[in-house]
Structure 1
Amino acid sequence: MGKVRYLISGILIALALLIPSMISDVYANPDISLSQCGTLAIPGETYVLNYDLISSQVCFKIVADGITLDGNGHTITSLTTLGQVENIGVDVSGTTGVTVKNMKILDFRTGIAVTASDTSLINNFITNAETGIHISNSCVATLTSNTVNSGTDGIVITSSSGVTINWNTANDNSDDGINISNSHGTVLTGNTAGISEGQSNRGISINSSNDNFLIDSTHLWGIKLLNSNDNSITGNEISNHKNEIASNAVALQIMNSDNNTFNYNTISNNDSPFEITESTNNKIYNNNFISNSNEARIQSYVIEYGIIIGVVSDTSGSNIFNRDLPVGGNYWDNFDQASEGCYDIDSNSICDVPFVSFETQDNFAWTIPDGWLVNSSTIPDVDSIVIHEIAHCTNSEIEPEITLVDNSDVINEDTPVVICHMPPGNTDNPQEIQVSMSEVDTHLAHGDHIGSCEDYELGFQEFSDEILTDNETLNEAINLLRTIRENLNADSDVGDLILQAADLYKLFEYEDINIKLAFQSVFNQFIKDVEAFYGDTLTVSEKFILHELNKAAIKMQIQINKAENEEQLQNKIQSTIQFVNAQEQLQKIKNQIGIEKNRFVMDNERLEDLKLFELDLLKQTLLFTAKIDGETITPKLLKDIETWAEEKIKENHKKNDGNGNSNDDDDGKSNKGKSNSGNGNGDNGNSGKGGGNSGKGGGNSGKGKRN
């Protein structure tokens, strides 16, 4: 009995010693499921969540290196408290080699916060957060296959370098899907940042950040660059950015940003394909621009005393829309066929004249989407891009060394901007206010505009009478525009008349190109006057009228481009005809030369035959004469006859070649002895031995001494 008592006492003492140790740290054994929120502090351990949890502050705080937190598909939910500052699902701070994966995080102010840490976030699902994932003061962080939806900002990277963001989804966030600020060397690949109606302002925003790479992402709902240089936007799809869904719906918005490259992107079904403000040397080429509602604009701010008071058109041409061939420019679906002014006479899939729209000029516009793939079947991907190598972060909250954009310029998120505010329900009484640049988009969406509310006093300039010609169509068009301007000055309701003016370009379709150019000059000035008359505060009908005028200006330019192309085509056709005619004439000359050459060859052949006939006849004659005279026919005599006959024929033909005739005397006698032959005197054709004379045809031949 005593032994049993001692045994029970020993067990109780052991339990008393073990229980406090078990209670002090429920996380000591990684095989034990996490059943409550808390701090994870054991280096290298793996923690697995096997329960859904609820928290009102920070649920999990990771403070040691090498920890893995596996949510195992379970959910942590915030009991949102108004004004609660530290309301974070998972907080990682000052660590290296941490992994957070498979978490579901709902309703926290910040879903996952990473500060000064080398961290991997994999396959987490975060929804309804003010900020889904926030990476700050960190390097070499990696975000892979996370979903961050229906919050304010999806993924936010601030003051960090070397962050990799791959295959994440950030949809339906009311501000930005992905926001990169004061960071460099960020690589974003294969991400989706889309929207549903009434949500996000833009898909991706890059602010005061250099040398970042946005590659091969889809369903992006707009990209904004502010004070950011040397970034590469490659192979992305940017689509469906519409004003009826959110404010200032521009696919590419580039503000105070230089030397960025945009290529191999498809930009489609947006209200505006791009808007470039106070930016230079951006290279925009090999992109597809398809079914965008309005034309792109390039503009500059009017700044006084550090305050933006207005915007004006930038026609400096300081941004680049094409490279030299074979790279070429972009594809514009409103400029890809002859009826739109794009002629491709040499069939190289490049328009023969530049694409011009407002301040944009593309000298080598493609006639087909992705036309550049004809010369290169692949486009660069992330593997071909050189990324700066970033060393691992140290376990401190010191901000990593980053090359930031020079923010000494006036334009940044805090720059004051003068806005003419149109109070809802009281638009007849606009108010001039100042807001920060970050608030401008919201005001523009409500119908406000940048600049003063002061009424613009339109200073009409009379059309020069020098433009008037004997062309009746041009004169009538000018007179109509004059009439409309006079009615503008009288504050009359001239909307219908202006719309009539928008159709005037149709009258010039078959006119001479010089007449077209003259009307274009007048019409462009007319548009400026109407814009000035309406001012920056536009009603719906005024917006429509200006839209129609600008469409007419574009179609007029298309007419001119078409006329210039037709003129070039006619010149090419005439040059071709002249070339063909010259070739035909040359061939005729060659043929004639061939005929004459053949005739010359035939004449030479006939001449040779004649020489042989004359030689044979002369030899026979001499031989016959010698026989009659009783000469003994010896080999030497035969040889002498042949030699003399050959020389005689040669001399006769040489004389004929020089004089162009034969030596026929007046009575038809042919002297065969006009030149010396042999070594004697043959002046009269004397040949013979002794003094005997024998002649044929007047030629003397005798027996006796042979000369």
Structure 2
Amino acid sequence: MIRHFKTLSSGWFATVGATALFGVTLPAAPAHAAPLSCGQTVTTSVVLQASLLNCPGDGLVIGSHGITVDLNGHTLDGIGLGVGIRNDGFDAVTLTNGATTQGRVQEFDYGVRLNPGTSGAVVEKLALQGNEFSGVEVNGADTNTQVRNNLIERQAQRGVTLTGGTRNAVIVNNTLTSNRGVSVFVENSPDNRLEGNRITGSGDAGLVLTGSSGNSLLTNSVGGSSDAAIRLQLGSNNNLVQGNTSTQNADAGLTVSDSTGNRLLSNDLRGSGDSGIVLQSAHSTTVTGNDVSRNTGGVELRFSNNNLIRSNIASDTTGDGISLAQSINNDVEFNQADRNGSRGIYVVGDAPAASGNALVGNTANANNGDGIIVSKSVHTLQGNTARTNKGWGVSVDPGNVDAGGNRASGNGQAAQCKGVVCTP
């Protein structure tokens, strides 16, 4: 069929354009230079030739599927109202900057807003600066939105917002800095991927999920936030948080509250104003392979049940390495809790029969207080090691279960252990 097109007149072909001919869809016409004005609805691919300044409302409005808007190093500038680029449901639209100089969207309510029904959108290589509510908001987009390789800085509130049931979005490799609210905020939006973003200087937490399940948070870095680095809350269930790093955040490295079934794997969370990982009314969480050294505390559980805390490094904190308060049915296994400013591992709170916590195969060495201390009952200790602590190696209240194999030596208390039998 392609050979037949050679017989068509050039005028007829230009009229038909990129429509479907005899079952064959021709490629869309390339983007062309176009003079634009503030608030214009764009229905073909365009390359900006000049900046649009002091737009009184929206900058540009998408009006067709499958088009590309290239800022070409120019600026869309508002007066604190409207949206820099607004898409109300058109699919496969790309917003990009093809020039080596920054293409900026600044001083609107929203830099870019993708509204319900939008699918397959790409927002890439833009500088989104000084907008009010969000640099990029994806509100109820259907699927496959990509926000990638952007600079998102100095928003008055949030950097990137996913809301309204947005799903299968990919937020990847963006730099988010000095946003006054949460830098990445995911609300009631499942099954998205947030990966490789660099977040610094947030006025609130760095990255927050609320009421959002099945998301993947991978290899993001968060530093200098005024609250937690990463926070999962209010029914944010079955998320994967893996390979992220945090440094020098004012609150915890990673907080999970009122949520179930999350997996926190191989994160490096240091220098926090609170513990590296905090579980608050968080249940059935897997916490494995994390390094939570050099925080105020290491791993902290409060009113959290049925969690697995395994093979974490919870050392060199100013407080307790691992602490459990009013939490039951947790397995605390093969963790390192060494050289902490207070205790290595601390468990407090009664547990009903057969629902206590199990402390198995942990090391708690050279802590400034006791190595392992368990008050109340009924918890189980097996195969733990506690050496050269300034207090007891292991101190256990009556009513707990000594399952054997615990070892202690060189601790400040000559008896080494109380409530369990320890060998050197």
TM-score by length of 2: 0.67
Q: Which residue of 1 aligns with 2:356?
A: 318
**CA-CA distance at 1:31 after TM superposition:** 4.2
AA of the residue aligned to 2:363: Y
Deviations along 1:400-443, one digit per CA (max 9) or x if unpaired, are xxxxxxxxxxxxxxxxxxxxxxxxxxxxxxxxxxxxxxxxxxxx
Q: Which residue of 1 aligns with 2:278?
A: 224
Q: Which residue of 1 aligns with 2:161?
A: 113
* 1:291 partnered with 2:339: yes
**Equivalents in 1 of 2:289, 2:198: separation in Å?**
22
Against the structure 1 CA distance between its residues 563 and 273, is the aligned structure 2 distance closer, same or farther, given a 3 Å change threshold? Answer: closer
Deviations along 1:221-271, one digit per CA (max 9) or x if unpaired, are 411111111010011111111xxxxxxx22112111100001011111112
Which structure 2 segments of 5+ residues have no match? 1-33, 46-66, 77-83, 398-409
**CA-CA distance at 1:358 after TM superposition:** 4.4
Decide whether the 8 Å contact of 2:198 with 2:222 is kept in 1.
yes
Q: How does 1:289-688 map to 2 (within 5 A)?
A: 289-295=337-343, 296-300=345-349, 318-322=356-360, 329-334=361-366, 356-359=372-375, 362-366=381-385, 555-558=413-416, 565=423
Against the structure 1 CA distance between its residues 24 and 279, is the aligned structure 2 distance closer, same or farther, given a 3 Å change threshold? Answer: same
**Equivalents in 2 of 1:27, 1:146: separation in Å?**
32
Decide whether the 8 Å contact of 1:298 with 1:314 is kept in 2.
no
**Equivalents in 1 of 2:35, 2:182: separation in Å?**
41
| Partner of residue 183 from structure 1, selected from 236, 259, 263 | 236
**CA-CA distance at 1:557 after TM superposition:** 3.4
Which structure 1 segments of 5+ residues have no match? 1-17, 80-85, 242-248, 301-312, 323-328, 336-340, 342-354, 369-502, 506-519, 525-551, 567-707
How many residues align? The count is 318
AA of the residue aligned to 1:226: Q
**Equivalents in 1 of 2:420, 2:307: separation in Å?**
33
Q: Which residue of 2 aligns with 1:238?
A: 292
Identity %: 19
**CA-CA distance at 1:318 after TM superposition:** 1.8
**Equivalents in 1 of 2:365, 2:213: separation in Å?**
38
**Equivalents in 2 of 1:228, 1:565: separation in Å?**
35
Point out the structure with the larger helix share.
Answer: 1
**CA-CA distance at 1:367 after TM superposition:** 8.1
Deviations along 1:140-199, one digit per CA (max 9) or x if unpaired, are 11101011221120110111111011111112212111111111110011111221xxx4
Against the structure 1 CA distance between its residues 274 and 69, is the aligned structure 2 distance closer, same or farther, given a 3 Å change threshold? Answer: same
Decide whether the 8 Å contact of 2:328 with 2:357 is kept in 1.
yes
| Partner of residue 137 from structure 2, selected from 81, 87, 91 | 91
**Equivalents in 2 of 1:161, 1:367: separation in Å?**
39
**CA-CA distance at 1:554 after TM superposition:** 5.2
| Partner of residue 114 from structure 2, selected from 39, 54, 62 | 62
AA of the residue aligned to 1:555: Q
Q: Which residue of 1 aligns with 2:59?
A: none
Decide whether the 8 Å contact of 1:357 with 1:554 is kept in 2.
no
Q: Which residue of 2 aligns with 1:275?
A: 323
SS of corresponding position for 2:206: strand
Against the structure 1 CA distance between its residues 70 and 289, is the aligned structure 2 distance closer, same or farther, given a 3 Å change threshold? Answer: same
Q: Which residue of 1 aligns with 2:23?
A: none
SS of corresponding position for 2:255: strand
* 1:71 partnered with 2:124: yes
Deviations along 1:333-373, one digit per CA (max 9) or x if unpaired, are 249xxxxx9xxxxxxxxxxxxx75343863202589xxxxx
Against the structure 1 CA distance between its residues 559 and 166, is the aligned structure 2 distance closer, same or farther, given a 3 Å change threshold? Answer: closer
Against the structure 1 CA distance between its residues 47 and 357, is the aligned structure 2 distance closer, same or farther, given a 3 Å change threshold? Answer: same
SS of corresponding position for 2:314: strand
Q: How does 1:136-215 map to 2 (within 5 A)?
A: 136-151=187-202, 152-181=204-233, 182-195=235-248, 199-215=249-265
**Equivalents in 2 of 1:44, 1:562: separation in Å?**
65
Point out the structure with the larger strand share.
Answer: 2
Deviations along 1:74-109, one digit per CA (max 9) or x if unpaired, are 422116xxxxxx611101011121111111111211
**Equivalents in 1 of 2:266, 2:40: separation in Å?**
50
**Equivalents in 2 of 1:219, 1:111: separation in Å?**
22
* 1:262 partnered with 2:309: yes
**Equivalents in 1 of 2:208, 2:170: separation in Å?**
15
Q: Which residue of 2 aligns with 1:404?
A: none
Decide whether the 8 Å contact of 2:264 with 2:286 is kept in 1.
yes
**Equivalents in 2 of 1:187, 1:40: separation in Å?**
30
**Equivalents in 1 of 2:187, 2:175: separation in Å?**
20
TM-score by length of 1: 0.41
**CA-CA distance at 1:23 after TM superposition:** 7.7
**Equivalents in 2 of 1:564, 1:233: separation in Å?**
28
* 1:128 partnered with 2:178: yes
AA of the residue aligned to 1:283: D
Decide whether the 8 Å contact of 2:328 with 2:351 is kept in 1.
no
**Equivalents in 2 of 1:259, 1:278: separation in Å?**
12
Structure 1 runs of 4+ with >4 Å offset:
18-23, 313-317, 559-566
Against the structure 1 CA distance between its residues 365 and 563, is the aligned structure 2 distance closer, same or farther, given a 3 Å change threshold? Answer: closer
**Equivalents in 1 of 2:151, 2:364: separation in Å?**
43
**Equivalents in 1 of 2:257, 2:336: separation in Å?**
25
Q: Which residue of 2 aligns with 1:28?
A: 44
AA of the residue aligned to 1:331: T
Decide whether the 8 Å contact of 2:364 with 2:372 is kept in 1.
no
Deviations along 1:479-516, one digit per CA (max 9) or x if unpaired, are xxxxxxxxxxxxxxxxxxxxxxxx9x9xxxxxxxxxxx
Decide whether the 8 Å contact of 2:205 with 2:229 is kept in 1.
yes
SS of corresponding position for 2:414: helix
Q: Which residue of 2 aligns with 1:689?
A: none
Decide whether the 8 Å contact of 1:330 with 1:362 is kept in 2.
no
Against the structure 1 CA distance between its residues 264 and 20, is the aligned structure 2 distance closer, same or farther, given a 3 Å change threshold? Answer: closer
**Equivalents in 2 of 1:140, 1:38: separation in Å?**
25
Deviations along 1:622-678, one digit per CA (max 9) or x if unpaired, are xxxxxxxxxxxxxxxxxxxxxxxxxxxxxxxxxxxxxxxxxxxxxxxxxxxxxxxxx
**Equivalents in 2 of 1:314, 1:172: separation in Å?**
38
Against the structure 1 CA distance between its residues 39 and 27, is the aligned structure 2 distance closer, same or farther, given a 3 Å change threshold? Answer: farther
AA of the residue aligned to 1:260: N
TM-align CA RMSD: 3.5
Decide whether the 8 Å contact of 1:57 with 1:78 is kept in 2.
no
Decide whether the 8 Å contact of 1:289 with 1:331 is kept in 2.
yes
Against the structure 1 CA distance between its residues 26 and 256, is the aligned structure 2 distance closer, same or farther, given a 3 Å change threshold? Answer: same
Larger radius of gyration: 1
